[in-house]
Amino acid sequence: MSDPGQRRTVRAIEHAAPTCVALARIGPEHPAFGGHFPGRPVLPAVVILAEVLAAIEAQTQAPPQQWTIASAKFLAVVAPDDSLTLSYATSPTGSLRFDVHAQRGVVATGVLAPRHPS
């Protein structure tokens, strides 16, 4: 999927339950880069998580509100135009383990757990 302003592109490249792989590119015109940080823009962690959730929703039709973040680690910065590979795998408990890779290696990893109705 691509947004109207070409600020982001997400494309599924493999989907075979219980795993999925998608590619994403966040363009330099994305508003998150404007103030984070001037002179050396980096993609905020919340945008990385949003891309993970968007890829999962595109493949599973499970809305982001269905998940809670059990854990998340951000290991490296994501710069404008970095190509990202988003992958996740479903566990028997229904949780999703995700990894986000850029050309230089893993940039984020974590676990999403199903939100239980309250």
Residue 4 has a pLDDT of: 41
Strand order, beta sheet including 19-26: 8-16, 19-26, 83-90, 96-102, 105-114, 67-74
* Identity of the amino acid at 62: A
Phi then psi for 42, rounded to 5 degrees? -135, 150
Classified by CATH at the fold level, domain 8-114 comes out as Thiol Ester Dehydrase; Chain A (3.10.129)
Encode pLDDT of 29-38 as tens digits.
888 888 888 7
For the chain, the domains span 8-114
Encode pLDDT of 87-101 as tens digits.
999 999 999 999 999
Task: Classify 81 in phi/psi space as left (phi over 0), alpha (psi -120 to 50) or beta.
Answer: left
